[in-house]
Chains A and B, each alone.
Chain A
């Protein structure tokens, strides 16, 4: 017997839904009963992707510095706490901007949309990792002399890849705008402006959080 009220893809199934099933994810997010499970899975994927990326950046830092396994242990924590923590901090602002745009979205729908952006970023980070590994290898072989460039790239990469996450949130809102009640009509590209406001507030919090955490944990 299955639970008929909440169709729930497993975490591996969610990878597929995030990468290919944009319309399916839109449908899932429109079902209030499915949202708690979807939120849990999106958090899981976000944490997984950021942890793996953090571990790779930490490993490269350890290798380039010639120290023992040190950063590989705390860097995943720094990445996860900085990015997911920044999301927690920004949620009230996200909700505020969404309401200002005229979309009557619930707080948990806003949370799910924010996590959708983060989970998309995390999944794509896993895909970009081999390229980052190649850059790190080039640094280890002396092709790139500045190790801070390689580590800096590892820190900046989630923000660059994050643009695709932002795009996923934007496309999700386009679909949601067709079914969500509107509190007031807005003209122009209000959805685009709203998502850009989301991105702006998040980008002002997450780098500071990451910088401070790396500084604190890395000594």
Chain B
């Protein structure tokens, strides 16, 4: 196959990927045209994103009862944030990122909790009389569980406040101010998690 044939094949695939990208891309205006041009010229970079499905959550996140609750609360909080009308996307997007970041921290804690529980269930630590290390591990497990529960309770409180803001018919700038206050609360929760 010569240079011309290769170029034609490359361009054909480029057109196909650009069309597919046009259907899936959320970019607007000039950025959209740039994206489509890039998809045409450098289609090998875009193809993996277009053809690969989303990975099952279980590979990245544990799916036990605690993890499922964390995931549920995350979706509730993000949904409550996104339901606010009159707030610009530029204001909300960083808050959504903060929420996601907070919940990645909670994910890690739930993994730790599951590992501690699995360890405490092994014969080494579940014998009678209990070993001193087992008692310390049990204290760690209880503390981790408490932290997760406390954080999720505060998240539930945040969700309620967001619903209040939504239905209180406040002016737009008032909504933005209160969302920013709540965002500071989310940041505080994230910092608290990191500090623990």
Contacts and interface: CB of A to CB of B under 8 A. Distances in A.
Interface of A: 1-4, 6-11, 24, 27-28, 30-33, 35-37, 39-40, 43-44, 47, 81, 84-85, 87-88, 91, 104, 106-108, 110-111, 115, 179-181
B55 A32 contact: yes
- By Cβ-Cβ distance, the 9 closest A-B pairs, closest first, are A108-B48, A88-B44, A36-B49, A107-B48, A2-B89, A4-B78, A4-B82, A7-B97, A32-B54
Interface residue SS majority, chain A: helix
B125 interface: no
Contact of B48 (A27, A84, A111): A111
B118 interface: no
Given A9-B93, A181-B59, A40 B25 contact: yes
Nearest to B92: A2
A7 B45 contact: no
B7 interface: no
Interface string B75-99: 0001101110100010011101100
B24 interface: yes
Interface in B43-77: 44-46, 48-50, 52, 54-55, 59-60
B185 interface: no
A36 B26 CA distance: 10
A108 B26 CA distance: 18
A88 B45 contact: yes
Given A27-B104, A44-B31, A85-B42, A3 B54 contact: no
Contacts of A36: 24-25, 49-50
Given A40-B25, A88-B42, A108-B49, 13 more contacts: A1-B85, A2-B89, A4-B82, A10-B31, A32-B54, A37-B26, A43-B42, A44-B35, A84-B42, A84-B45, A91-B48, A106-B52, A110-B48
Contacts, number: 100
Interface in B12-31: 21, 24-27, 31
B60 to A, nearest CB: 6
Nearest to A80: B41
B184 interface: no
Nearest to B111: A179
A47 B38 contact: yes
Contacts of A1: 82-83, 85
Interface of B: 21, 24-27, 31, 34-35, 38-39, 41-42, 44-46, 48-50, 52, 54-55, 59-60, 78-79, 81-83, 85, 89, 92-94, 96-97, 100-101, 104
13 contacts: A1-B83, A2-B81, A2-B89, A4-B82, A32-B55, A37-B25, A37-B26, A39-B45, A43-B35, A43-B45, A104-B59, A115-B45, A181-B60
B96 A91 contact: no
B124 to A, nearest CB: 22
A8 B93 contact: yes
Contact of B38 (A28, A32, A44, A85): A44
Contacts of A181: 59-60
Contacts of B38: 40, 43-44, 47
Contacts of A28: 97
A169 to B, nearest CB: 15
A91 to B, nearest CB: 6
A163 B85 CA distance: 45
